Each structure stands twice: as structure tokens, then as C-alpha cells.
Structure 1
Amino acid sequence: MTPVPPWDAFTATEAAVRAMVADPRWPELPMPDRAHVLAARVLVTRDGDRWLFGAHARWHLHDPASGRWHLAPPPRGERAREVRHAAADLPPDVVPSGPDFHAEPGSTMAFIGPDVSADLTERLRVLVRACGRKSEFDYPLTAFGDIFARDVPSTVAAVWGTIMWCSYAPAFDGNERLLTVFGEYLRRPLPGDEWVRWLPAPPLLDLVTMVVERAEAGRVRESRRLAAVMADTAQILMSDTRFRPRALALLTMVEPALRDPGLDDSLAGAEEVRLAWLERTPARLGRALLPETDVAAHFLHAVYDLAEALAFTPDPVRATAGFLADLADSRRRLPPLLDHRVRTAYEELERAGMTETSVADTTEPEGFAAGPRGGVSTVPSPVLEVAPPDRTSAAGVLGAAYATGRAWERLTGAKVPERGLAGQSALVSKLVHERDDHHVCDTGHN
């Protein structure tokens, strides 16, 4: 007989709110009525914290000092009781609109540990080979010039840019099969080292620029071919949950212009086209587009993902603060963005001189000797050690932490180090021994 999981107030409330928001009448309710219904479902734990399951199908924690509601995963399993909160005190941004509850499920896992499937890689290999046969004169490189050699056609760059834009956290095994597809086209070694490639996620404008530049040069056919390459790439990526939400969003942007070739012809410049692409995306995919539409909200959702990924730790709040301590924050913009529990833990680390740890001393991945030729990555020592129970959990934390670092970079301009942030790099040592490609460490010779 299958054991019945214990009753949990958070799980029960979540189910009840989901059922209410799924009612087709929900979007038609006036905002005060929706807030009133939601306020009756607030939970309070024994420490006095108040929790609301609201917008984006995510939990929000009430800050008793400021009165603000912060995105925060709940302490599942803790005892909680239902209380009535003042509906008038609920800001509109925590009240579900309806479509936001239907976000495409994805994964926070990085591409360190579990590889991209052989089938997906092979399909992209075929696409890249076909793209590589195009003329660089017909398809000049107008984006990703720091990645590819000058004579590489922009069709290849369009595949690359789509992969990176669609990925939740573009951190890859150094020998990830998907990256080797592009090997002959690269201008220089990718950022990182032989163990991890810490890659940036490009803005949507980089993709749009390639399409618009050809159209403005009078090469309409080539412009549409580039858009079609992006759509083909996104379609292939849909089979991996680490790509799926943004791949689906990109398809909803590009495909209307492919069906109606003159759709964007009246728009002036890449920025107008970018805005038009974003407007085509349905509301249910809005969270996938936050890096383009609301960088502050994108960062807060990334912190939520990180805290969820760390739920296996004895103290998820402190573990979350430990990873956030890696971030460069000379202007102290971070603490006000955090809920009061994480903020308190972070400020304790700050008083102990344990924040901004990515400028600390360097260490080596466990089990690999350091070499003068840089065959092994050097990474800063982390604030804390986490011990994921399995490979999937480790990849999930790694991806969420890297996505948080990149989201912070978008919000503040603070650059992510080429060899990763401290806590992320410490986790690599827990995964390199289980690489899918069975990489064998050599003696340091290239």
C-alpha cells in the first residue's frame, strides 16, 4: 500500500488557490474581490510569519517591518494556521491575474552534470553544419563577434544565440557535446576552463539585430532565413526542460513573422522589432521574459528558485544567504531586496566579513592538482559547503545559483567572474567525478 504523505498546510492552501484561479471567472473578478478571496487564505507559522500563495503561482512572505510582500518559498512541513489578512493591504502585484498561474514548467538545472541528450545534440549538429555552409558575405556577423571568427556566417551565430538565450542557466561542462558542435567556428576559447564554461545569456536584442540588419540592408530573404534558423533551433530545444520555457516564448515571437513575412516591415530599427516580438508573447509565458521586461523581478524570481533548490539543506535560509554572499554589492543594493529572514542571515555574514566572497583566496576542485599552465580551474573559497543528496539536486543548485548571479549582473552591472562565483564553483567539485562524457584528467598537458 502506497504511504499517504502527511497533510501540509502550505500544500493544501496552494491547491485551494490554484483551483480558484483556474476558474474561468477569476480574471473577470474586480481586483478588490480577488484580493479579498486571497486574503482569507493567508497562513501564519508559529514564529509569526505570514505567507500568501499569490501571483506567478509562488509564495510571498510578509515583512512585518516594512509591510512588503517578498517572493519566498515556504517552510513546508512546518505547522501553520489560516488567518484573515486585510485585503486592502494586499498590493496588486501579489494578486494572481490568471494567466500567470499557467507558466510553462522548466528546470533550474545547469548543464554541468546531466548532459544535453544525444538526439537533441545531433539535430543541432545537422542544423549548424547546414548553417555553416552559408556565405559570410550574405550573412555577415553582426552579433557574437566576441565568440565567433570573422568569416563565420551569422546563421551559425543565430543558432548559438538562440541556445544561450533559451537556456535557464548557460553553465556547461567543459566537454559538453552541445558546445563541441561549434568548435571549428569559435574565435577563442570559451569563458571558463576545461571543467566548466560559464557563459553569458545574450539579450534578445542581439538576436533581433541579426534579423533587422539584413532587412535594412535590403536582404529580406536572408533576414527571414535567420528568423527561421532561430525558430528551428528553438523547436529542437523544446525537448529539454532547461530550455523549454524560453524556447516556447521565442517561437511565439518569431513564428508570426514567418507566417506573415511583412509583419515587421513597418517597424523602425531593432528596438522596435524587439518590443513587437515581446508583445506577441502570451501572458502565461511572462515569467520566461522577465530578463527582457523587468530585470528587478527577474532577480527576485531567481532568488526564489535558488531558495527552492536549497530546500534539502538543514537551514535553507542561511544557505541561500551564503550563495548571495558571493555577489558584488558595494552599494548595498541587495539587502533591501531580500525577505527579512534571508536579509538577517545575509547581514550576519556581512558583519563577519564573509560577503562578496568571489574576491577571496582561490582553491582547486577537490581531487585535481593545480598546474602552472591553468589546466585546472582556480576558484574562490565558498562561504559554506552544501551537500546535495544527488546529482540532480547539485545541478539544480548550480543552475539556480548561476542564474541568480547573471540576474544580478543584469540588474546592477556587477560582472560574473569568468570562472564562476565561489559557491557555484565549489559545487563543481561534487559533479566533475560523475561527468557524462567520462572525461579523464590528464597530467596537465594540452
Structure 2
Amino acid sequence: MRPWDVFTSAEAEIRAMVADPRWQALSPPDRAHVLAARILVTPDGDRWLFGAHARWHLHDPADGRWRLAPPPRGTRARQVGHPAAVLPDEVIPQGSDFHAEPGSTQAFVGPDVPESLTERVRVLLRASGRRSELDYPLTAFDEIFASDVPSTVAAVWGTIMWCAYAPAFDGNERLITVFGEYLCRPLPGDEWVRWLPAPPLLDLTTLVSERLRAGRPQAALRLAAVMADTAQILLSDTRFRPRALALLTMVEPMLRHQGIDDAHVDEETLRQAWLRRRPARLARATFVESDPAAHFSHSVYDLVDTLRFTPDPPAAAAALLADLSDSQRSLPALLDHRLRMAYEELARAGLTGTSAREQTEPDGFPVQGRPGGVSTAPAPVAELAPPDRGSTAAVLGAAYAMGL
């Protein structure tokens, strides 16, 4: 039985309130008033609010803003009042944001992709590979696939990579090795880890819109169907599920109502049309496309949260963030004050930017539970020594999603 935790208790209470049908009937000021009465204060004076997107927000004493930050679970805290009028709208739950699909920050190094999922992708890929490249020319992902590969194959690949939280794969992961015969060059990385680029949604809409411009709407529908079929397969793995669901909600209307996207012959116009179809509850899954600033904040939250096994998660996260290039010195302003202070301490020591990377690039660290398995990662991850395979994969995935 887990020990009682004040943050977990407060979170459960607020979740129950937002799930209550009466929440939708409350005005924004009333919602703010209810939340303001449930703010927690830790002994160090930090104020914590469980709010929008079913995530914790930390009050920044420097500018009064509330920033996304995972709480120090296990720490003593007391409930205090807070002026409701100063709670900004962006921290107030709307309701739909509390129904977001839970996902996983784990990379695909350590915990394997389920064999049944891989086999279903292999069957779909084989069928897609039989299409003619003349009917399905490769208009995106041409840096990965040979010129005679049909775009139906690229649609499978692109869907997998777009839906992945962090496309860092075990070098021998069958889910990517099944594409071997179609590749024009070796994938980046080595036999331990393949560091694969996460494509923008624009690459997927480029495949479809090119066929629409060419006057081949049925071919465009086939490509959309391949994406939907791939996303449907990916739903069984939480590392894919949130974005796979989002992609299905964007693509399936095109399949159910043929002709709905025929006028969107420009890839960016089609991308915007797809994003408009995404329901509010899946907004966080597509922040990478619609709100880069929010995506960054949530990615930092994920990174700090994966480091909760450390004595000081913000300091551990700062050690990782130190490897980010920040020539404009804009990063500190985006961080909560605990993380900002830890990062600025590293900056004063000259350990941020490329200087930190030069001093901390390792050969790798073992993935526990798999004899002989080794994966490469930023050195701070190696030094942290995550306690198990799952924790290692989570830190690796969160760090890779941050561009580390």
C-alpha cells in the first residue's frame, strides 16, 4: 500500500470536481475560485496548483506566472487560499483537457514493441510495398527511401515516426528492420540505438496532397487509409497511442466523407484542415504541430517527471537541459524558478551549450534486464543510473523528445 501523499490526494479531489457535470455549468471566475482554495504550499514557500491539462503548475515568485512543473511528491504541504482573480485562464481546466489519453515517454530501447503489433505492421507494409511507384510517387521521406519505393511505404513509416513520443529505437528493433529492403541508406545510429527523426505532420499531408493535385483522389484516399490502418495498429502501445488517436480523428473523416479534402491540394492547407478536426481532449498530443511553446513546456514537464527517482529532479533535468544550444539565452525564461536556478548555476560554471556536451558525451550505459544490451544517451542520463529498464527508457525518451 502506497503511503498517503498530499499532492496525490489534491489531484484526486480536483479530478473528481472537473469530472462532475456541474463543472461545465460554472463560470470561469467560479472555477478559478474553487481552484484557488485548493492550492498547496510546501515548506519552502512554493505554491502548487493542479490545473489545466490535468497537470501541476508552479507559481513563479519572480513574475507571478504559473508554469508547468511536476510536484515534489512525498513532500509535506498545506492547503492555502490564493486570490482567484490572479489565476490566468490558461491554468483553469476546461474539462475536455482532463480526458487526454495517457501516454508514455519511453523510447523504444529496453521495453520491446509488442510482437503482435510488429507483425501487423509487417503485413500492412508488405501489401503497401506492392503498389507501383508510378501511381504513388515518393514526394516525402525521399532522404530515407529508394526512389523506386511507393509512397504507400513512406505512409506507414511516416505514421509510425509521427505517432512515436520519441523515435529512438533499439538498433535491432524489428519494427524498423522490416523496412530494410526499402531504405536508400543505413538509418542513423548503430546496432544499439537508432536515433530517428520525428517528421512533421506536413510530411504526411505532402504525400496525400500531391495525389490530389495530380487529379488522383482515389490514390490520395489510399494513402490516407494506409495512415489510418497504421495508426489503428499502433494504438496498442502507449508510446504511440495519444498521437495515433489524434491522427485517426484527423484522417478518418476523409475516408468516411469522400471528397471532403479534395479542395485542399496544398499540403499546408490540408495540414490545417486535419488539425482543425482534432478534438479538444487530444490537444496535447498535437501541441508539437499547433503550439510549439506549449509543446516545449509539456516536454520539460515530462523530462523532470521521469527523473523523480533522483534526489533533486530539477537539478538532474537542468544537467540534461545544459546540452541544449541556447545562443539567444532564451531558455531560462521558459523554465520554472527551481529549474531556472539550477540551470543558471550550470551556466555560471560554463557548463551550458556546447561546452557541456563536449564534457559529457559518453559511450553509453547498459539497459538493465537485457544481457549485453547497451544504449547511448546523454551523459547525465548515464550518471543518473535509472533503477530499471522502464525508467531508463522513460528518461531516454523524454530527453530525446527535448532534442538532447
Q: Per the shorter chain, which TM-score range?
A: over 0.9
C-alpha distance in structure 1 between counterparts of 2:342 and 2:55, whole Å: 22
Residue in 2 that maps onto 1:392:
390
The amino acid across from 2:217 in the alignment is: V
**Displacement after TM superposition at 1:49 (Å):** 0.4
Residue in 2 that maps onto 1:52:
49
Contact 2:309–2:386 at 8 Å: present in 1 too?
Answer: yes
Residue in 1 that maps onto 2:23:
26
C-alpha distance in structure 2 between counterparts of 1:324 and 1:82, whole Å: 32
**TM-score, normalization by structure 2:** 0.94
Residue in 1 that maps onto 2:215:
218
The amino acid across from 2:195 in the alignment is: W
CA offsets 1:394-443 (integer angstroms, 9 cap, x no match): 111111111122xxxxxxxxxxxxxxx4xxxxxxxxxxxxxxxxxxxxxx
Contact 1:109–1:396 at 8 Å: present in 2 too?
Answer: yes
Residue in 1 that maps onto 2:129:
132
Paired residues, number: 395
Do structure 1's residue 354 and structure 2's residue 357 form an aligned pair?
no
Residue in 1 that maps onto 2:227:
230
Residue in 2 that maps onto 1:193:
190
Which residue of 51, 73, 81 corresponds with 1:76? 73
The amino acid across from 1:164 in the alignment is: M
**Displacement after TM superposition at 1:279 (Å):** 1.1
CA offsets 1:216-259 (integer angstroms, 9 cap, x no match): 10111111100000000000000100000000110111111101
**TM-score, normalization by structure 1:** 0.86
The amino acid across from 2:223 in the alignment is: L
The amino acid across from 2:218 in the alignment is: R
Which residue of 332, 351, 357 corresponds with 1:335? 332
Residue in 1 that maps onto 2:93:
96
Residue in 2 that maps onto 1:67:
64
Do structure 1's residue 403 and structure 2's residue 393 form an aligned pair?
no
The 3-state SS of whatever aligns with 1:385 is: helix
C-alpha distance in structure 2 between counterparts of 1:205 and 1:311, whole Å: 35
CA offsets 1:328-367 (integer angstroms, 9 cap, x no match): 1111111011111111011111111211223447542369
Which residues of structure 1 form unaligned runs of 5+? 368-375, 406-420, 422-446
The amino acid across from 2:363 in the alignment is: E
Which residues of structure 2 form unaligned runs of 5+? 367-373
CA offsets 1:355-388 (integer angstroms, 9 cap, x no match): 1223447542369xxxxxxxx9987754971021
The amino acid across from 1:86 in the alignment is: P
CA offsets 1:31-79 (integer angstroms, 9 cap, x no match): 1111111111101011100000000000000011110111000011111
Identity, % of aligned positions = 72
Residue in 2 that maps onto 1:364:
363
The amino acid across from 1:193 in the alignment is: D
Contact 1:360–1:380 at 8 Å: present in 2 too?
Answer: no
The amino acid across from 2:402 in the alignment is: T
Aligned in 2, Cα 1:230/1:102: closer, same or farther, shift over 3 Å? same
RMSD: 1.7
The amino acid across from 2:319 in the alignment is: G
CA offsets 1:173-218 (integer angstroms, 9 cap, x no match): 1111111110011111111222111111111111011111101101
The amino acid across from 1:337 in the alignment is: L
The 3-state SS of whatever aligns with 1:221 is: helix
CA offsets 1:55-108 (integer angstroms, 9 cap, x no match): 000000001111011100001111111111111111100000100001001111
Residue in 1 that maps onto 2:162:
165
